[in-house]
Structure 1
Amino acid sequence: MNKQKMAVIGLGHMGRHMIHRLLPQYTEKIELVAICDSDESSLHREVAEAGIRPRLYTDYRQLLDEVTLDLVYIAVPPSLHYDVARIAFEKGVHVFCEKPLANSLTEARSLVELAEKADVLHAVHFSLPLDPAVLKLRGLLEQQAIGRIQSMDLYLEFQQWPRAWQQNPWITSRQQGGYLLEVGIHWIQMIQQVFGPITHVKSEIEFPLDSNQSESRVQAVLRLHNDIEIRLSGTDQREGEERVSLVIHGEEGTLALENWCNLYRSNKDADLQPVSVDDVVSPLPILKQIIQILNGESGLIYDFHDGYNAQVVLEALRKPGEGFTDVRPQLMGDKTEGFIVTT
């Protein structure tokens, strides 16, 4: 079996995770042939720590022009996603992109069109719907464990933004940063996969006086296609530990996905109790699914259409209108499942 030749562009938190944690699990199937980051000292430090010897670049355009690739992993700031992916598609390279898909809805739609024209694999790094706790939650919902869903609450509440491990020049910028864009996009996409399309958005946002800074407080309502409403509460001034959670209220009880991966359940008039997910087999990581697809096997990914549909809702949240905004005219189809594909 020939190894897939891969490049990593961007050595922020996710790029470092890729070269230090994920790729070492698949050395028999992937060859990391090149890495790009604008910080040359970071390049040399990270490859030394990883014990690898790929070609090193500070200019992604030069890398994509000089190196023969099968797959590129894009982990640069959102404003660069479009240009990197565009060049990769022009060269017929498969693309694995971090979220959000792009820095605007216009760019996201264009990337979908470019991906379709290139006829190569295109995936966004959405993993939350395939997390064991979410898979367990989905199974309980299918079993009507809490009866008919009445409403939901989504909490994106932080002591500060950015968090201590997220220090970089763009994470707090109104253009590219903020917790709605960085964290909220995961939950928007997961909700779209598990519960169906979000069709209407109503949002109120408070920003700092500095016009360059991202949101401070958010109060919003996301309305699903079946009229179930999700109340969103966001802040960067939470007292106590951060809370990133979805609570689902049903006629017969409650399900709560607390802090990403801790699942709880209660019946009527009972306290929430932990739910074990030890019996759940997850297809994660997404990289494994991509490798399967590139090797001609079936795989489960979330493609650029999924990235675009999540960005439709994200942009409606970040740029409120008067009352509810109907986002249905902008959505692409009624796609609520992961993309299963073979090559």
Structure 2
Amino acid sequence: MTKKKLAVIGLGNMGRHMIHRLVPQYTDHIELIAICDRDESSLQKEAAEAGGSPQLYTDYRQLLEEVALDIVYIAVPPSLHYDVARIAFEKGIHVFCEKPLANSLEEARSLVELAEQADRIHAVHFSLPLEEPVLKMKSLLESKAIGEIRMMNLYLEFPQWPRAWQQNPWIASRQQGGYLLEVGIHWIQMIQQVFGPITHVKSEIEFPEDASKCESRVQAVLRLHDGTEIHLSGTDQREGEERMSLVIQGKQGTLALENWSQLQLGDKDAADMQPVSVNDVVSPLPILKQFIQLMNGEPGVTFNFHDGYNAQVVLEALRNPAEGFTDLVPSLRFHS
């Protein structure tokens, strides 16, 4: 089998994870032949640790022009996603992109169209719907373990933003940072996959006086296609440890996914919550494995640019509130 030629563009947390943790698992299928980051010292250091002999670039345009590729992994800041993906599609390259899909709804819509025109495989690196606790949660909901869902609460609460380990020039910016964009997008997309379309959003959002800084507080209601409401609470001033959780209140019980991976089940008043084992669940992750299967003409499970766009529709409604509920249906793209 001929190995697929991969380039990684951007060496933040996710780019480093790709070259050091994921790529080494699939060396029979892919070859890392180029890496790009504008910080040359970081580029040299990470390439040396990764091993092999990838070509090194500080300009992604030059890389995409000079290197023959099958797949590009985009892990640059959101404001650059559009340009990198656009060039890749023009070159006939498959695209695996970090979230969010783009830096605006207009860019996201255009990327969906470019992906369709290029007829290349395209995916956004959403993994939460395929994690074992979420798959178990979905199974319990389908078996009516808590009865009919009454409402949900989504908590995106942090003692500070960005976190201490998460410092970079853009992650606290209003343009392309903030916890809604960085963290909330994962939960939005997972909710869309598990519960169906979010069709209406009502949001109240507070920003610091500094116009360059991202959101501080968010209170919102996300309404599903069936009328179920999800009440969102977001802050960067939480007392104690951060909380990223979805609590689902049913007529006969409560199911909670706490801090990404801790699944809990309790009574309808959310009392006596007990951990739920997920040892019987098999996840198809990582997404890279699924992407490789698709490239090889095999079945694979990924979330494509349509899914990325639909998550961005909700994200932008949260970040740019209108009076009352915003109807998202005209903007959503429904696809098979």
| TM-score, L = length of structure 1 | 0.97
**CA deviation vs aligned residue, 1:140-180 (integer Å, no higher than 9, x gap):** 00000000000000000001100111110000000000000
1:146 and 2:146 are equivalent in the alignment? yes
In structure 1, distance between residues paired with 2:46 and 2:280? 36
Matches within 5 A, 1:177-188: 177-188=177-188
In structure 1, distance between residues paired with 2:335 and 2:191? 13
Equivalent in the alignment of 2:47: 47
Equivalent in the alignment of 2:191: 191
Matches within 5 A, 1:86-105: 86-105=86-105
SS in 1 for 2:330: helix
SS in 2 for 1:202: strand
Give the superposition deviation at 1:51: 2.2
In structure 2, distance between residues paired with 1:295 and 1:116? 19
- The answer (yes or no) to whether the contact 2:255–2:265 under 8 Å persists in 1 is yes
Equivalent in the alignment of 1:34: 34
The residue identity in structure 2 corresponding to 1:294 is M
**CA deviation vs aligned residue, 1:10-41 (integer Å, no higher than 9, x gap):** 00000000001111101111000000000000
- The answer (yes or no) to whether the contact 2:249–2:268 under 8 Å persists in 1 is no
**CA deviation vs aligned residue, 1:276-321 (integer Å, no higher than 9, x gap):** 0011000000000001111111000100000000000000000000
SS in 2 for 1:165: coil
Aligned residues: percent identity? 78
Matches within 5 A, 1:6-155: 6-155=6-155
Equivalent in the alignment of 2:293: 292
Matches within 5 A, 1:193-208: 193-208=193-208
Equivalent in the alignment of 1:273: 274
In structure 1, distance between residues paired with 2:22 and 2:268? 42
- The answer (yes or no) to whether the contact 2:250–2:268 under 8 Å persists in 1 is no
The residue identity in structure 2 corresponding to 1:131 is E
SS in 2 for 1:24: helix
In structure 2, distance between residues paired with 1:116 and 1:258? 36
1:243 and 2:267 are equivalent in the alignment? no
Q: Which runs of 5+ in 2 are unaligned?
A: none
- Superposition CA RMSD, Å: 0.8
Equivalent in the alignment of 1:4: 4
In structure 2, distance between residues paired with 1:207 and 1:296? 47
In structure 2, distance between residues paired with 1:225 and 1:18? 36
In structure 2, distance between residues paired with 1:268 and 1:171? 38
**CA deviation vs aligned residue, 1:235-254 (integer Å, no higher than 9, x gap):** 00111000000000000000
Equivalent in the alignment of 1:313: 314
Give the superposition deviation at 1:267: 2.7
In structure 1, distance between residues paired with 2:268 and 2:93? 52
SS in 2 for 1:300: coil
In structure 1, distance between residues paired with 2:53 and 2:245? 40
Runs (4+) of structure 1 exceeding 2 A deviation are 267-270
- The answer (yes or no) to whether the contact 1:197–1:334 under 8 Å persists in 2 is no
Give the superposition deviation at 1:334: 5.9
Give the superposition deviation at 1:52: 2.8
In structure 1, distance between residues paired with 2:302 and 2:43? 29
The residue identity in structure 1 corresponding to 2:334 is G
SS in 1 for 2:162: coil
SS in 1 for 2:301: strand
**CA deviation vs aligned residue, 1:14-73 (integer Å, no higher than 9, x gap):** 000000111110111100000000000000011112223200000000000000000000
Give the superposition deviation at 1:268: 3.9
Equivalent in the alignment of 2:284: 283
In structure 1, distance between residues paired with 2:225 and 2:293? 33
In structure 2, distance between residues paired with 1:43 and 1:172? 23
Equivalent in the alignment of 1:338: none
Distance 1:237 1:289, change over 3 A: same
Q: Which runs of 5+ in 1 are unaligned?
A: 336-343
